[in-house]
Structure 1
């Protein structure tokens, strides 16, 4: 039987650092929708709170290719949404 270790440290409302045996990641969001940024890439999880139902989407996975790739339209939109969410969380955290 393998041992698991996972610890979540809440930094601010909607912002947490996750520490596990396999590494460190950051989670942004709250109930219903969360974006997780870690060494395996960026994942977005949307769910229905209280039901146990959720869906996870890979937004970005680091590839083995070393050549720089052009961002797709979808990736640009996601990058902009992430930026707005982070700015909102930082502004919101200043009022607590």
Structure 2
């Protein structure tokens, strides 16, 4: 069993700074409605939770 480090800090309402061992990311948006996540590794994710078991997520990664 490996140990992991993950920390999420609320900066402002609707803005979170997410930290882990290798990278950081910023999430804009709340629990309801659309969310946008931008990571230090180049990953950008847009997600929306829909009623019931439905949801939408689109992820793009920057090429290096």
The alignment's TM-score, normalised by the length of structure 2, stands at: 0.77
Q: Which has the higher strand share?
A: 2
Structure with the greater alpha carbon radius of gyration: 1
Post-superposition, which runs of at least 4 consecutive aligned residues in structure 1 deviate over 2 A? 51-55
The alignment's TM-score, normalised by the length of structure 1, stands at: 0.55
Q: Gaps spanning 5+ residues in structure 1: where?
A: 65-96
Q: Which has the higher helix share?
A: 1
Greater relative contact order, per chain length (Cα 8 Å cut-off, separation 6+):
2
Establish whether residue 26 from structure 1 lines up as the match of residue 26 from structure 2.
Answer: yes
RMSD of aligned alpha carbons = 2.0
8 Å contact from structure 2 (residues 50, 56) kept in 1? no
